[in-house]
Amino acid sequence: MRLEFARLVTELVGKGYLVEHFGEECVDVDEVLPDPAEVMAR
């Protein structure tokens, strides 16, 4: 079950669905992204 969940999250991240909540790394910006575990705990 955990492996399937991890695959689902990886797929969603790859398709850009979670960028709004978790952010996205950009080489042009020095922005610190939130820890995904902390965001999910909210």
pLDDT tens, N- to C-terminus, the chain (42 residues) = 888 988 988 888 888 777 776 666 655 667 776 676 776 677
Residue 28, pLDDT score: 61
Report the alpha-carbon distance of residue 30 to residue 42 in Å, rounded: 25
Q: What is the pLDDT of residue 23?
A: 64
Q: How far is CA 34 from the centre of its chain?
A: 9
The pLDDT value recorded for residue 32 is 73
pTM beyond 0.75: no
Secondary structure class of 34 (helix, strand, coil): coil
Q: Per the structure block, which two tokens stand in for 15?
A: 């398709």
Q: Would you state the structure tokens that stand for residue 12, as one six-digit string?
A: 């969603």
Q: What is the pLDDT of residue 18?
A: 75
Cα-Cα-Cα-Cα dihedral of 8, 20, 25, 10, to 10°?
A: 0
